[in-house]
């Protein structure tokens, strides 16, 4: 008998996230899974729905070898082959485990940049994101549990509880925030080490309730590209390309990051120098999944933390497009709940959120559980 938690999650991924129907071609891509049960159940349920499932199982140690030895020709060949496959797909489910979360930490940045430019960008940024019904999620592994500071059984319970949330209720709770963001012009963010201003006027707004990420719980848009001014100091650590970055701080002038510091300042600036768009912001989002309360070095969870926001250097999503283009898209998180220093978000000189809690009456549903 299959695990009922896996059964429920598989149904959410297929029916809610991918809206799978008969005849759809589905790619399930899984990395470092300790057990293939979720993949097997996805294949079985997809077949029951008349879809055509394809599976790709990947190992991060093997990928590390490919990245480390990669050349423009070899990485480009992999990108071409995977792009061709992705172009055939109607839907995509990416399940990302990690036996070792630091597996890519010693891959030289120029090698990782080759991967970003010639493999990730043409396959995922250019094809998967705009042209498939896609969803990505992490998978509970010993490494992931350790990063979260929990035992594996406790972390699994947390994982399935968060990932199988009531996404229909989440959608209803987010609707008034969407309306407020659509009508807002000027945004101001204040927190310890942070005083930032920008405009979101005319940029579309997207609520996120389990369609593209599991877990989910955010509402995002993008700043007008050249409008960002001031300083932001992020207070959640972030693992990017295998390196853990802490105390990241940016200073902006006319939308551009003109100063960037962190515990790994040199690496940080190498990433931001990948292309012109990497020093501009492609996304701004308010996190509102109150079941996620603290960072655990995993972006898919950390960017949803109740009372948080993320401001993302790099590529803008086409659905909330400010025109910024980059092969970088790095969600960096600032938590504004009292235990992380508090802070405010203002829309057009009106308080929207104070110390992580939404202020207006019509947004009180988003405070449940905080």
CA atoms within 13 A on the CB side of 321: 6
Rounded-to-integer distance, Cα 40 and Cα 74, Å: 31
In angstroms, the Cα distances linking 75 to 41, 69, 143, 219, 354 are 32, 9, 27, 34, 46
Rounded-to-integer distance, Cα 241 and Cα 218, Å: 23
Encode burial over 245-272: b for 16+ CB neighbours within 10 A, e otherwise: beebbbebeebbbeebebebeeebbbbb
Residue among 285, 281, 282, 294 at smallest CA distance from 335: 294
104 Cβ contact partners less than 8 Å away, ≥ 6 residues apart = 60, 63, 64, 67, 112, 241, 242
The DSSP code for 277 is G
Give me the helices (H) in 88-194, please: 109-115, 129-131, 142-148, 152-163, 167-183
| Number of other residues whose CB lies within 10 A of the CB of residue 330 | 23
| Number of other residues whose CB lies within 10 A of the CB of residue 40 | 15
**Residue 18 near residue 89 (C-beta atoms within 8 A):** no
Residue-level pLDDT at 42: 98
Residue-level pLDDT at 319: 93
Classify burial at 78, counting beta carbons within 10 Å of its beta carbon; exposed 0-12, middle 13-18, buried 19 or more.
Answer: middle
Residue ranges and CATH numbers for the domains of the chain are 4-163 (3.40.1830.10), 167-367 (no CATH)
Residue-level pLDDT at 1: 53
Stated pTM of the model: 0.85
CA atoms within 13 A on the CB side of 324: 33
Question: Going residue by residue through the chain (370 aa), what tens digit of pLDDT does each one get?
Answer: 578 999 999 999 999 999 999 999 999 999 999 999 999 999 999 999 999 999 999 999 999 999 999 999 999 999 999 999 999 999 999 999 988 888 998 999 899 999 999 999 999 999 999 999 999 999 999 988 888 888 999 999 999 999 988 898 999 999 999 999 999 999 999 999 999 999 999 999 999 999 999 999 999 999 999 999 999 999 999 999 889 999 999 999 999 999 999 999 999 999 999 999 999 999 999 999 999 999 988 898 999 999 999 999 999 999 999 999 999 999 999 999 999 999 999 999 999 999 999 999 999 999 998 8
| Number of other residues whose CB lies within 10 A of the CB of residue 130 | 12
Q: Return the sign of the alpha-carbon dihedral for residues 179, 184, 190, 195.
A: positive
**Residue 263 near residue 347 (C-beta atoms within 8 A):** no
């Amino acid at each position: 008998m299959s695990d009922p938690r896996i059964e429920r999650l598989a149904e959410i991924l297929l029916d809610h996230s991918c809206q799978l129907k008969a005849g759809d071609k589905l790619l399930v891509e899984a990395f470092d899974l300790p057990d293939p049960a979720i993949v097997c159940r996805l294949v079985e349920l997809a077949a029951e729905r008349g879809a055509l499932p394809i599976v790709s199982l990947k190992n991060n140690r093997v990928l590390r070898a490919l990245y480390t030895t990669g050349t423009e020709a070899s990485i480009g060949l992999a990108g071409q082959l995977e792009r061709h496959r992705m172009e055939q797909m109607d839907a995509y489910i990416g399940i990302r485990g990690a036996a070792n979360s630091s597996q890519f930490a010693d891959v030289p940045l120029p090698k990782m940049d080759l991967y970003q430019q010639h493999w990730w960008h043409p396959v995922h940024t250019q094809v998967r994101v705009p042209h498939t019904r896609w969803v990505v999620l992490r998978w509970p592994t010993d490494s992931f549990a350790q990063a979260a500071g929990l035992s594996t059984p406790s972390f699994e319970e947390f994982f399935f509880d968060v990932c199988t949330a009531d996404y229909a209720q989440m959608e209803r709770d987010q609707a008034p925030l969407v309306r407020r963001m659509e009508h807002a012009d000027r945004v101001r963010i204040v927190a310890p080490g942070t005083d930032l201003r920008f405009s979101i006027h005319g940029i579309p707004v997207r609520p996120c309730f389990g369609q593209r990420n599991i877990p989910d719980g955010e509402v995002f848009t993008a700043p007008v590209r050249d409008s960002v001014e001031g300083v932001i100091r992020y207070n959640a650590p972030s693992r990017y390309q295998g390196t853990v970055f802490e105390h990241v701080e940016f200073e902006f002038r006319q939308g551009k990051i003109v100063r960037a510091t962190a515990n790994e300042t040199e690496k940080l600036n190498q990433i931001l120098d990948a292309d012109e768009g990497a020093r501009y912001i492609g996304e701004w989002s308010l996190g509102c999944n109150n079941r996620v309360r603290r960072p655990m070095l995993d972006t898919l969870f950390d960017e949803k933390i109740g009372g948080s926001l993320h401001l993302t250097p790099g590529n803008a999503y086409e659905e909330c497009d400010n025109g910024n283009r980059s092969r970088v898209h790095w969600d960096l998180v600032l938590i504004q709940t009292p235990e992380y220093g508090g802070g405010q978000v203002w829309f057009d000189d009106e308080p929207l959120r104070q110390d992580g809690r939404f202020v207006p009456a019509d947004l009180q549903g988003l405070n449940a559980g905080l």
